Amino acid sequence: MADKISNAAAQMPQLCHMCEENTDIKFKCLDCAFLLCSRCRKLHEKVRTKYVHQIIDLRDKRAISKDSKSIRIHQVRCEFHEDENYIMCCQECQQLVCATCILTMHQKHEMGDMKIIISTKVSKLKQYQEIIDTTILPNISRNYARCDDLMEFHTKRTDIAKTGIHDWKTYLINAVTKLLDQQAELFYEQIDKNMDEIKQNILPERSELDDMKRNINKIRSEIERAINSHDLSQMINLESSIELLLKKVYAQKKKERTNYFEFSQRELKILKLGDLTLKPVFELQCTQSFDTRLSCIDKMASYKHEELLVRNLELKNLCLLKIAHDQIIEIHKWNIDVKDITALQTGEIIVILVDKTDLRLLTKKQHLTSTIISDCTEVFFDTAPQIPTALHTTRENNVIISTVETGRDWLPMDEPCKVEIIVITAEREVISRFIFDKDLFCFPNKITSIGTDICIADSISDYSGRLVTLDNKGKVKWTYGDNETNSVIIADMVSTPLYNVVLLDPCQSVLQALDSKGAFLNTWRLLDFNVTNPYAMTISTDDKILIGCGHTGNNLHVLEFRE
């Protein structure tokens, strides 16, 4: 046997894994799979690991059998000691070390096999690689496409605004020019008419004065001749003519004072092109519609990427669906009747069961099985004596719960009741609890959140409702829909990443968008998207609005919004 080993060593010379210089290999560490020379054996025993080094002589058959399975890794020179290669990995410092590193900088540190460490690192890097390929890069691509879409949208909107200004300016110039021409013509007519009246008033008088002047000049000439001639009879006749003429002169009446037009310029203080108003970008378009083969979807909650939880109202069960390209795949189904559902970011599903005061948990282990689960027994949180009505998981992975007093299902909706709003962590620790003792809410049936604010859909009656928003202290910040001008029935609602709230009104079959202060932004008719009989709504992990409907056929619609 020793001859065989010697022949094998002669054919493939082995170097000591520690010093990598000596070919006189006599020992092997079974735990580290290191071949060692006599000098390095003692050094290797001093290397600290989580196990005790089992160093045996190479003549041991165990070493030969195990050595046949050993795999050498690519040798890398130490960055601190250029003449040596890395041989192990320091567990405490998480870095590769050579023999000199072990003796100088990593004494008494626990060492690990490079092969095992590298294999672990490779596995972890492959996991990161998978996350990058399946999640990060697709998200970047989606966000990049969204940025391109927004740039194209704003470029078009800029061109539309500028074209509108130019067209309106041209229209106003033409309209103003026409208006001014009309006003000028009217002024000209009024001035000309006044001038005609002045002529009718002045010209006859001037003609009369001309005649009188001629007659006076004629009489004056006759007076001069009469004086020179000393003709008495001529003087007497002339005197009579002069007295008659003077009577006419004295009898002449003065005309009324004439009026004239004076034009004054007016500054353009009223005339404006218009107003520029900044409007938030909030557009919706339906990109996909699916036939889920469910008879009625009335509850929804986003789960993982392209997966969602839905309740089938008619069959009273809960389904986990996956959107795969252009079809819907049913992954799992639970035969349980739930009042509301939500999911933690860790994958656990939380449900409210009918007539129960506690929230129940469907763990990963449960919903990853292929069998149908008929019940969920693990309690997530107990709200007794209050009855839970609605659930919501925030973007910070906290859970918000609304509760009402016992027996509320049999009281008129228009009467306030005792309501508790509870905020807990995913680890079930209570962050805050707000109690409203018949002074605010009638029946909270839906919850969402905007940052630290809590938005609660409160049913006032079967045909009216409102949205109440609380701050992180439980104080009312604003309400919407609590008067006749903006009354709304809220079947479901979601909040968007940019702090907008979208409400689903099933009676009017519309979506309404509000900003974070409760100001109205926009309305969309769902019939314009071929969405009929809408019941439920949720927002996916990639920020798309999903709407479920109460009929068969295409009853799940994907709406993408630009904001």
C-alpha span between 449 and 301 (Å, rounded): 14
Residue 224: how many other CB atoms lie within 10 Å: 10
pLDDT, tens digit, for every residue of 57-88? 776 654 444 444 444 556 788 888 888 888 88
Residue 485 has pLDDT above 70, yes or no: no
CATH superfamily of 283-562: TolB, C-terminal domain (2.120.10.30)
Supply the pLDDT for residue 490. 93
Report the C-alpha dihedral over residues 558, 139, 325, 365, rounded to 10 degrees: -90
Cα dist. 491→402, 449, 466, 558 in Å? Answer: 15, 16, 11, 18
pLDDT, tens digit, for every residue of 138-155? 888 888 888 888 888 889
DSSP bridge pairs for 284? 561
Residue 118 has pLDDT above 70, yes or no: yes
Phi, psi for residue 462 in degrees, rounded to 5: -70, -15
> Which amino acid type is present at position 68?
S
The DSSP string of 95-163 is: EEE-HHHHHHT-TTPEEEEHHHHHHHHHHHHHHHHHHIIIIIHHHHHHHHHHHHHHHHHHHHHHHHHHH
Supply the pLDDT for residue 70. 45
C-alpha span between 439 and 426 (Å, rounded): 30
pLDDT, tens digit, for every residue of 374-391? 456 689 999 999 999 999
Supply the pLDDT for residue 346. 84
Q: Which residue has the higher pLDDT, 467 or 305?
A: 467
Mean pLDDT of 353-369: 72
Query: Of 105-109, 164-168, 384-388, which range is least confident?
Result: 105-109
Return the structure tokens found at 231: 């003709």
3-state secondary structure 28-49: EECCCCEEEEHHHHHHHHHCEE
Residue 1 has pLDDT above 70, yes or no: no
Residue 399 has pLDDT above 60, yes or no: yes
Supply the pLDDT for residue 286. 93
Phi, psi for residue 520 in degrees, rounded to 5: -70, 135
Mean pLDDT of 455-464: 87
C-alpha span between 208 and 401 (Å, rounded): 105
Average pLDDT score over the chain? 83
